[in-house]
Amino acid sequence: MRWWSEVSPDGTMGDPTVADAETGAKFLQAAIEETLALVRESRALPILDRTDYH
């Protein structure tokens, strides 16, 4: 994976002047839903027994 600075020297990407609140809200909602899906998937994994090697 490349460093973000190789893609964007100032840490941004795209043209913010074309953004609006509706698009931002949709993007935020999608990010929330995907994050929740990841958390739910992680929580569904079994907790395996650990072996203490100390």
Q: DSSP secondary structure string, 12-50?
A: --S-GGG--HHHHHHHHHHHHHHHHHHHHHHHHS-----
pLDDT at 34: 97
pLDDT at 49: 94
pLDDT at 35: 97
Q: Which residues of the chain have pLDDT under 50?
A: none
pLDDT at 1: 67
Give the global pTM: 0.62
pLDDT at 42: 96
45: its two tokens = 């994994």
Between CA 13 and CA 15 the distance in angstroms is: 7
For residue 36, give Cα distances in angstroms to 14, 33, 40, 44, 45. 26, 5, 6, 12, 15
